[in-house]
Amino acid sequence: MDNVQAEEPRPALKTSGTGSHPIEDTQYLKSMRICMIGLRGIPDVQGGVEKHVEQLVSNLVNLGADVHVFARKNYVAGTGPYNWHGITVHPLWAPRSTRLEAILHTALALWKARLLDPDIVHIHAVGPSLVAPLARLLGLKVVFTHHGYDYDREKWNSFEKRILRLGEWTGMRFSHARIAIAKHIAERMQKDFNEPVYFIPNGVKVDTRSLDNTVLTEFGLEKRRYILLVARLVAEKRQLDLIEAFTRAKLKNTKLVLVGGGDVGSEYARELQMRALADPRVILTGTQSGHKLGSLFANAGLFVLPSSHEGMPIALLEAMAHDLPVLASDIEANLGLGLDDASYFPLGNIDALTAALQRKLESQSIPRAPTTDSAKIVSKYDWQTISLRTAEIYRSISKVKARRTVSQEKTATVDA
């Protein structure tokens, strides 16, 4: 098993007349019903899994699939099933507990999803994949996407970490197909479980044509005069490390902008708020999305990701696609993006991060030269291609039922 390489699905792609996007016969998707479970919800819900699913399902529905997303009521606006861009979103009850929220909601979502008689149930993340054996007992076709080693998160105790590892085991053993968003995850899972794992990365989508620069005025920011971090306010994202390094660096006319929200009752988020109150140069914007978030990326001087845990960092990809200079901790997920050595620093090393901030921002008066080829980033991590690869996996394990009428496709819902 030492030489096993993670598999990538190889659909029979054809190129369009311009050669700009891969296309293929996707007629099979027009009679395929897909249920997504294991996430907080869509649209514009904070989290890497949520952003991944939002982009994935948007492309799948554009290709003709009947897509249903099961959301947690406390994260979305609706209380009953509603349509968003052709996707049916089903808000369901979930407890307000970070310990129980994911697994109880996912079990309820699976029970509701079975009523739709789906062709595919797609489970996201290792915690929710605890329900994979139940899905098999219900006769469902199961796809599991591994988004990262959630049991490495600092907030879990030893018992909870064992439960999450069990979720990883059940997801790997009881799914019909397995996907990993990072190559190192795919290779490790394939080696550990002797099961085929498809490597399909996260994608990136950047639109700089309709930015909302009022967000700069709202938070008192100047173009290129702030450092940006976009991440949930949780311990493994290491915002406190960045605040400490920023304070030590004594950067002139520069602010630190932390975008994201924390869990309900989070001690870590409260500590961050206290640190920000102590230094007016540290700005907490809360959760941002859409054109405002795009503007914060587009106008930043530097993006920093100091985290100790990532699957495949979408925010870092977005920064690279915006052609921002970046700094990232030297964890496996970040190293996998292949940045130059000067763009990494040792995880948790405040002195090294301080020096790196000073080095990256010491020439603010000089016009910034491009540091990455943003067009190549967008092309390499294209959501349309990612969606086609995922759809090909669905087709490989599903015999699509040719028994639905158009009216059935449009009206299928599950009561919350």
**pLDDT digits 0-9 by tens, 179-212:** 999 999 999 999 999 999 999 999 998 877 778 8
pLDDT value, residue 400: 58
pLDDT value, residue 212: 84
**Sign of the dihedral defined by the CA atoms of residues 84, 231, 320, 223, in that order:** positive
pLDDT value, residue 144: 98
Q: Are residues 257 and 296 in contact, defined by beta-carbon separation less than 8 angstroms?
A: yes
As a whole number of angstroms, the distance between CA 181 and CA 316 comes to 14
Q: What Å distances lie between residue 377 and 57, 186, 202, 337, CA to CA? A: 21, 21, 12, 10
Tell me which DSSP letter residue 150 carries. Answer: G
pLDDT value, residue 24: 58
Structure tokens at 399: 């015999």
Percent of the chain scoring above 70 in pLDDT: 87
The model scores a pTM over 0.75: yes
As a whole number of angstroms, the distance between CA 394 and CA 23 comes to 16
As a whole number of angstroms, the distance between CA 133 and CA 204 comes to 32
User: What pLDDT digit, counting tens, does each position of 19-43 carry?
Assistant: 334 445 788 898 899 999 999 999 9
Outline where 250-329 has alpha helix (H).
267-278, 290-299, 314-321
Cα radius of gyration (the chain): 21
Q: Are residues 294 and 208 in contact, defined by beta-carbon separation less than 8 angstroms?
A: yes
pLDDT value, residue 89: 97
H or E stretch at 82: strand 82-84
β strands within 86-223, DSSP E: 87-92, 120-124, 142-146, 177-180, 198-199
Percent of the chain scoring above 90 in pLDDT: 73
Structure tokens at 53: 């699913």
pLDDT value, residue 414: 45
Structure tokens at 92: 């369901």
As a whole number of angstroms, the distance between CA 249 and CA 255 comes to 11
**Residue tagged 């096993």 (tokens):** 4
Q: Are residues 131 and 166 in contact, defined by beta-carbon separation less than 8 angstroms?
A: no
Question: Residue-wise pLDDT tens for the chain (416 aa)?
Answer: 333 444 444 333 332 333 334 445 788 898 899 999 999 999 999 899 999 999 999 999 999 999 999 999 999 988 899 999 999 999 999 998 777 899 999 999 999 999 999 999 999 999 999 999 999 999 999 999 999 999 888 788 899 999 999 999 999 999 999 999 999 999 999 999 999 999 999 999 887 777 888 999 999 999 999 999 999 999 999 999 999 999 999 999 999 999 999 877 789 999 999 999 999 999 999 999 888 999 999 999 999 999 999 989 999 999 999 999 999 999 999 999 989 999 999 999 999 999 999 999 885 554 555 545 677 888 889 999 999 999 999 999 986 554 444 434 444 444 44
- 365 burial (CB, 10 Å; 0-12 / 13-18 / 19+) is exposed
Report helix, strand or coil for 229.
strand
Q: Are residues 361 and 351 in contact, defined by beta-carbon separation less than 8 angstroms?
A: no
pLDDT value, residue 201: 95
Q: Are residues 31 and 404 in contact, defined by beta-carbon separation less than 8 angstroms?
A: yes
What is the amino acid identity at position 45? Answer: V
pLDDT value, residue 367: 52
What is the amino acid identity at position 245? Answer: A
Report helix, strand or coil for 254.
coil
Report helix, strand or coil for 349.
coil
- The values of phi and psi at residue 305, to 5°, are -130, 95
pLDDT value, residue 325: 93
